[in-house]
A and B are shown apart, each in its own frame.
Chain A
Amino acid sequence: MKENKSRKKLAAGLIIVIIAVGTAAVKIGAFLPTIGDADTPANSYVANYYITNAVKETHSYNIVTAVLADYRGFDTLFETCVLFLSALVTMMVLFGKEKVPKMPVKNLAEDKYSAAFGGDIMDASFRIVVPIILIYGIYVLFHGEISLGGGFQAGALIACAYLLDRIIPSIRMGRGKIKEETALIIASMGAFFYVITGILPMFNGGNFLEFAKLPFGSSLAAESIVKLHTAGILMIEVGVTVCVMGVIIAILEVVLERTDFDE
């Protein structure tokens, strides 16, 4: 009885909050400009420059990628570092806890129904889904300049494929798993590759992350500078992909190794 009463109270409070916030949002929303309006401050200064010049300067038809990886490359570097830090802190917090030993099972068929996640349908369908996800991840990485996506999404997709493989069949079999320390090292290598991409132009007399001075092309023609921009964006995307993949795998492994699924 008591639980029901508290739940009703919670529901009543929720309705009041929803109505209050909704009314306020509608009232305030009347003053806000329309999304995508040309006269708004967000669209009238720097956005115009991006729209007119991004394709010309970087050959990246997805302007979002051009802004993230080229014009705002320094921001993206520290976003990548924040991601890496999150994995590092998760490991620092959980590393002292004892691992739960998992009995390795030789034959999955014997043990299928006692596994934590799984069963016949999951086991059959993940085999079809995982290769497609992997190929799509690579596609998203290399087509980030032309179509949707970029480094972050590609890394998350590849990690998603690993995650499916890890939790559906092999949580008991213990095969094909990456150690958490290894995953963290992979993530750090991704961030390191990003920084190296930034430092390379400095040997050639440029600034940090100035892709026009990357030491790959010799001629100073405008076309080759555009190509260097494209190469720089691709290198950064690879770094971000590796970092995101490593971070997601590291956090997953850290938690998974210390979770008891057998109760």
Chain B
Amino acid sequence: MPILLLEGLLLIAMIAIAAAIILGKKLLAATVIYCGFSLIAMLLYTVVGAADVAFTEAVIGTISTVYFIIAIKSIKGKRADDERK
């Protein structure tokens, strides 16, 4: 199966971003990087030709990031950030 160069680059970027999310020290930073993961996924869907899915991914990526940020704010009292360090 021939993989386009652009697809390969996007996939490598996706792997790098996923590793950065797991290894990152701060929860908030990981959430914002996760938004970037969603962006790369959107570009990948566009390259493959699924424009509708890409559109959904773009909108839902934004909304889920906001949800994650609110969730982090609401568990701050339980020292989630400290446990992660």
Tell me the A residues contacting B by CB distance below 8 Å.
Answer: 3, 7, 10-11, 14, 18, 22, 29-30, 32-36, 62, 64-65, 116, 148-150, 152-153, 156-157, 159-160, 163, 167, 248, 251-252, 255-256, 258-261, 263
Which B56-78 residues sit within 8 Å CB-CB of chain A?
Answer: 56, 59-60, 62-63, 66-67, 70-71, 73-74, 76-77
Residue of B52, B71, B85 most packed against chain A (CB within 10 A): B52
Apart from A34-B2, A248-B63, A259-B70, list 6 A-B contacts with CB within 8 A. Answer: A3-B85, A10-B23, A14-B19, A149-B52, A256-B70, A263-B76
Residues of A within 8 A of B74 (CB): 255, 258-260
Contact A36 B49 (CB under 8 A): yes
A contact face: mostly helix, strand, loop, or mixed: helix
B contact face: mostly helix, strand, loop, or mixed: helix
Nearest CB of chain B from residue A103's CB, rounded to whole Å = 17
* 11 pairs of residues in contact across A and B, judged by CB atoms under 8 Å: A3-B85, A18-B19, A29-B1, A33-B1, A64-B52, A148-B55, A153-B55, A153-B59, A160-B62, A259-B70, A263-B76
Given the known interface contacts A7-B23, A260-B77, A263-B77, the answer about A255 and B70 at a Cβ–Cβ threshold of 8 Å is yes
- Selected from A29, A33, A167, A261, the residue in CB contact (under 8 A) with B66 is A167
CB nearest to B12 among chain A residues: A22
Q: Bound complex: CA of A152 vs CA of B52, how far in Å? A: 10
Contact B59 A259 (CB under 8 A): no
CB nearest to A37 among chain B residues: B1
Residues of B within 8 A of A159 (CB): 63
Which B19-37 residues sit within 8 Å CB-CB of chain A?
Answer: 19, 22-23
Q: Bound complex: CA of A31 vs CA of B2, how far in Å? A: 11
Judged by a CB distance under 8 angstroms, whether B51 is at the interface is: yes
Q: Bound complex: CA of A259 vs CA of B72, how far in Å? A: 10
Residues of A within 8 A of B85 (CB): 3
Q: Bound complex: CA of A189 vs CA of B63, how far in Å? A: 22
Residues of A within 8 A of B55 (CB): 148-149, 153
Tell me the B residues contacting A by CB distance below 8 Å.
Answer: 1-3, 15, 19, 22-23, 48-49, 51-52, 55-56, 59-60, 62-63, 66-67, 70-71, 73-74, 76-77, 85
CB nearest to A65 among chain B residues: B52
Contact A261 B73 (CB under 8 A): yes
Residues of B within 8 A of A36 (CB): 49
Given the known interface contacts A10-B22, A11-B23, A160-B62, the answer about A153 and B56 at a Cβ–Cβ threshold of 8 Å is yes
CB nearest to A116 among chain B residues: B73
Residues of A within 8 A of B2 (CB): 34
Given the known interface contacts A153-B59, A263-B76, the answer about A163 and B19 at a Cβ–Cβ threshold of 8 Å is no
Nearest CB of chain B from residue A142's CB, rounded to whole Å = 15
Contact B52 A163 (CB under 8 A): no
CB nearest to B56 among chain A residues: A153
Residues of A within 8 A of B56 (CB): 152-153, 156
Given the known interface contacts A252-B70, A256-B70, A259-B74, the answer about A35 and B48 at a Cβ–Cβ threshold of 8 Å is yes
- Selected from B48, B59, B71, the residue in CB contact (under 8 A) with A255 is B71
CB nearest to B72 among chain A residues: A259
Residues of B within 8 A of A150 (CB): 52
CB nearest to A258 among chain B residues: B74
CB nearest to A62 among chain B residues: B52
